[in-house]
Structure 1
Amino acid sequence: MIELHNRQDEDLAFMLRFENVAWYQDGMVRILDRRVYPVKTEFVECFSYVDVANAIKDMVTQSEGPYSAAAMGMVLAAYEFRNETDPQIIIQKLKDAAFTLSHARPTTSEQMKGIVDGAVKVAEDKLKEEIIGKQLVDELFQYAYGYMNDNYRRYTIIGKNIADLIPDNGTILTQCFAGTVVGTMLRECKRLGKNVKVYCAETRPYYQGSRLTASVACDMGFDVTVISDNMPAYTMKAKHIDLFTSASDVITMDGHVVNKVGTFQIALAAKYFGIPYYCTGTPDLAHPDMSSVEIEERNPQQVLESFGQRITMDGVHGYYPAFDVTPPELITGIVTDIGTYRPEEVHRYFEDKKC
């Protein structure tokens, strides 16, 4: 029986609880379908690591979810190969699984590699101890749980750091779904007694802001309002927004932020109104600048419909870049687990981390 100690998801919203993000049990990974939540609470059941990779690719889970799913997907891969006894074959199959999971979506593949390669390293070490079969599955589950818990622990610190930047009785604007950061930030605001109001841009075509961010804020007892994606600039002035915040899919070492498309235009409006924009996350050594980042373009058909309903005339074209790039000059600070950096100083993060 594996014991799960010091859980970092306590007091967070339903959809941020580990079992409701991505969870391995008895030869299956269950992933909360964030494409339909909260209108429906449904789980996608994956019986192979390829199923998990497809779920990641198909946007079943977003924000921190794909990383947790990839970690649990490696557990499922070990389960699939549980009857194999040759260590070399086991490792090769796990490496194949790691590649498939990490490359499910191109923009975040470098961050994914660290997670799945860590699982392969655990397997290599355990195989040297002649641990195979169900025991190896258990070891990789322990690794996946440890990754999720440590990730939440790190984001608890980030959540506290950004909560400190929000004024008492402040009003914030969010973009897309910052996942664990939103939950930990609001948990800290509640602890501090800050009566924060939240405005969420809806974030078409998946509506992560309206369905996910707003659900987390509401579930945790906060005053939350949804606006459509063409309303942020007007809302900033009309509702006296104090702070704009988003997560990040990539932070380059020279301070560019890659995040859900629409972030750049909100940052432009924030700059115009003198509203600070704080991005959360950590810089990525694999991306020294934007030349190494591939911006994913998704199925343009999704722009031509809403919840499966066609909204344009036949013959109209769509265009769907999943991310955009916000340059350093529009970013007030990048909030990390060891402090807040000006974007031009973010390269210091790893030096400071060693101290």
Structure 2
Amino acid sequence: MQRADYDLPFLLTYENVAWYDNGKVRILDRRIYPTEVCFVECTTYQEVAQAITDMVTQSAGPYTAAGMGMALAAYQTRGKKEAEQIAFLEKAAHAIAYARPTTANRMGKITQSCLEVGRSALAKGANPVEAIFLSTVESLNRRYTIMDKVGKNLIKLMPNHGRILTQCFGETIIGTFLRAAKAENKNLDIYCAETRPYLQGARLTSSCAIDLGFPTTVITDNMVAYAMEYKKIDVFTSAADSIARDGHIANKIGTNQIAIVGQHYEVPYYVTGIPDADKYSKEDIIIEERDPKQVLEYRGIPNTLAGVQAIYPSFDITGPSRISGIVTDRGVYSPYDLDAYFSEEQARFY
């Protein structure tokens, strides 16, 4: 297998996302990167599911962690009767898939695939741990390869010497998009909205951009209008945690307001990703409400007096009227015409 993570930053190397080895899953702790480079070690699939819930990894990272967690589940139940092992893997598949509800449909595709691989291996008398691990690596490589096509399609929309605003951390698309820019000698200035309260834009996106040698500027989330007017942002782009067929997308909280400001300043907004075949409208998107404590403090340091309350909706929904195009592996689609994406047979993604 030719690995598709070549020339990508540290964060996106396969082993630095999530990796199974000898009864453990190591997950890079993105909650504290780049202040510290630390890996969380999980010895049970339940710990992997909890790590996903706790955002030890995020963006597309949980997809890899899910598969590695299934390999770990197979390891946990080794030596038991075949029926017991399958029942254990079924339980693990559900628990890991629903570690974060907004992406449960995507995560479920991965864990169910791993379940079937494990079931098949057991029927053949093969090692289900190895089979699920190899299947997960293959899936990871396939996603990177497909997102490389997305990155190459996105770079076509960028002006040379353009100033590009990002939101949150788009995982693979950030790496493949910037790798494509380098290959085409397209000079870009990257502006990263910090993405409170978790600061994925400040900590993760900016790390990838500076790792690959691009001029990188972080702005606080309330500087977007200023940056668009005075720093002359050319394009706003983000990935999406859900892309419904009706053109509504869900992404990290704050995305919708950036899109609104972008409309005012006539800054196009390009969403990247693969549309969800099973989400037909925004009503099918579940907005995850996370622990408001994350708004009230950062890394254990309180920001408020005791008794102050907070909310933390993890995502918001942006309507098609605010989106200039959905950039996919097959090209750029109008958010009003996403059914066209499904007119051809889909390549397997998850």
TM exceeds 0.5?
yes
Contact 1:255 1:344 in 2 (8 A): yes
Cα deviation for residue 283 of structure 1 reads 1.3
Cα 1:354–1:113, aligned 2, differ >3 Å: closer, same or farther? closer
Separation (CA, whole Å) in 1 of partners of 2:148 and 2:235: 19
Correspondence for 1:7? 3
Partner SS for 1:93: helix
Query: What TM-score results when the alignment is normalised by the length of structure 2?
Result: 0.97
Q: 2:287 aligns with which of 282, 290, 295?
A: 295
The alignment status of 1:116 with 2:108, answered yes or no, reads no
Correspondence for 1:154? 146
Cα deviation for residue 353 of structure 1 reads 3.9
Separation (CA, whole Å) in 2 of partners of 1:347 and 1:270: 26
Cα deviation for residue 126 of structure 1 reads 2.0
The alignment status of 1:76 with 2:72, answered yes or no, reads yes
Query: What amino acid does structure 2 have at the position aligned with 1:146?
Result: E
Cα deviation for residue 128 of structure 1 reads 2.4
Q: 1:207 aligns with which of 176, 185, 199?
A: 199
The alignment status of 1:251 with 2:247, answered yes or no, reads no
The alignment status of 1:352 with 2:344, answered yes or no, reads yes
Q: 1:55 aligns with which of 47, 51, 54?
A: 51
Separation (CA, whole Å) in 1 of partners of 2:333 and 2:300: 41
Cα deviation for residue 82 of structure 1 reads 1.4
Correspondence for 1:229? 221
Contact 1:280 1:334 in 2 (8 A): yes
Separation (CA, whole Å) in 2 of partners of 1:310 and 1:70: 32
Separation (CA, whole Å) in 2 of partners of 1:351 and 1:90: 39
Contact 2:67 2:110 in 1 (8 A): yes
Separation (CA, whole Å) in 2 of partners of 1:129 and 1:246: 43
Cα deviation for residue 124 of structure 1 reads 2.1
Cα deviation for residue 354 of structure 1 reads 5.3
Matches within 5 A, 1:1-355: 5-84=1-80, 86-131=81-126, 135-353=127-345
Contact 1:27 1:79 in 2 (8 A): yes
Gaps of 5+ in 2: none
Paired positions, count: 347
Contact 1:283 1:347 in 2 (8 A): no
Q: State percent identity of aligned pairs.
A: 49
Separation (CA, whole Å) in 2 of partners of 1:265 and 1:311: 23
Separation (CA, whole Å) in 2 of partners of 1:191 and 1:38: 26
Query: What amino acid does structure 2 have at the position aligned with 1:87?
Result: E
Query: What amino acid does structure 1 have at the position aligned with 2:190?
Result: V
Per-residue Cα deviation, 1:258-279 (whole angstroms, up to 9, x for no partner): 0000000000011111111000
Separation (CA, whole Å) in 2 of partners of 1:182 and 1:353: 26
Query: What TM-score results when the alignment is normalised by the length of structure 1?
Result: 0.96
Cα deviation for residue 127 of structure 1 reads 2.3
